[in-house]
Amino acid sequence: MALRVGIDLVSITSVQESLRLHATRYLQRVFTEAEVRDCQTDNGIDPERLATRFAAKEATLKVLRPSKDDAVPWNTIEVRRDPAGWVRLHLSGSAAALADSTGITELAVSLTREKDFASAVVIAECPIEIDATSR
Amino acid sequence: MTDEIRKIIEAHARLSVDVGTLSENDDLYQAGMTSHASVNVMLALEDHFDVEFPDSMLRRSVFESIAAIASALGELHPEPSA
pLDDT tens track for B41-67 = 999 999 999 999 999 999 999 999 999
H or E stretch covering A87: strand A87-91
Which residues in chain A touch residue B69, judged by CB atoms under 8 angstroms apart? none
Does B81 or A22 have the greater pLDDT score? A22
pLDDT of residue A36: 97
Tell me if B36 and A18 make a contact (CB, 8 A cut-off).
yes
Average pLDDT, chain B: 91
Helix axes B35-49, B66-76, angle to 10 degrees: 40
Amino acid at A5: V
pLDDT of residue A134: 47
Secondary structure class of B33 (helix, strand, coil): coil
pLDDT of residue A135: 45
Query: How far is residue B17's CA from residue A116's CA, in Å, rounded to a whole number?
Result: 22
H or E stretch covering A123: strand A117-126
Under the banding of pLDDT at 50, 70 and 90, the label for residue B79 is: low
Which chain B residue has its CA at the smallest distance from A58's CA? B35
Amino acid at A97: A
Which residue of A9, A12, A14, A76 is the best one to mutate when testing the B interface, meaning the one whose CB has the most B CBs within 10 A?
Answer: A14
| Contact status of B11 with chain A (Cβ, < 8 Å) | no
| Contact status of B77 with chain A (Cβ, < 8 Å) | no
Q: What is the DSSP letter of A40?
A: E
Q: Is residue B82 pLDDT above 60, yes or no?
A: no
Q: Are A57 and A98 in contact (CB under 8 A)?
A: no
Regions of chain A with pLDDT less than 70: 129-135
Which residues in chain B touch residue A94, judged by CB atoms under 8 angstroms apart? 55
Mean pLDDT, residues B2-14: 94
pLDDT of residue B81: 47
Which chain A residue has its CA at the smallest distance from B13's CA? A14
SS3 content of chain A, % helix, strand, coil (to 5): 45, 30, 25
| Contact status of A50 with chain B (Cβ, < 8 Å) | no
Average pLDDT, chain A: 92
Residues of chain B above pLDDT 90, percent: 88
Query: How far is residue B54's CA from residue A109's CA, in Å, rounded to a whole number?
Result: 28
Tell me if B58 and A73 make a contact (CB, 8 A cut-off).
yes
Query: How far is residue B39's CA from residue B52's CA, in Å, rounded to a whole number?
Result: 13
Global pTM value: 0.90
Q: Is residue B12 pLDDT above 90, yes or no?
A: yes
Q: Closest Cα of chain A to B20: distance in Å?
A: 22
pLDDT of residue A129: 65
Query: How far is residue A10's CA from residue A119's CA, in Å, rounded to a whole number?
Result: 6
Tell me if A73 and B36 make a contact (CB, 8 A cut-off).
no
Query: How far is residue B9's CA from residue B1's CA, in Å, rounded to a whole number?
Result: 12
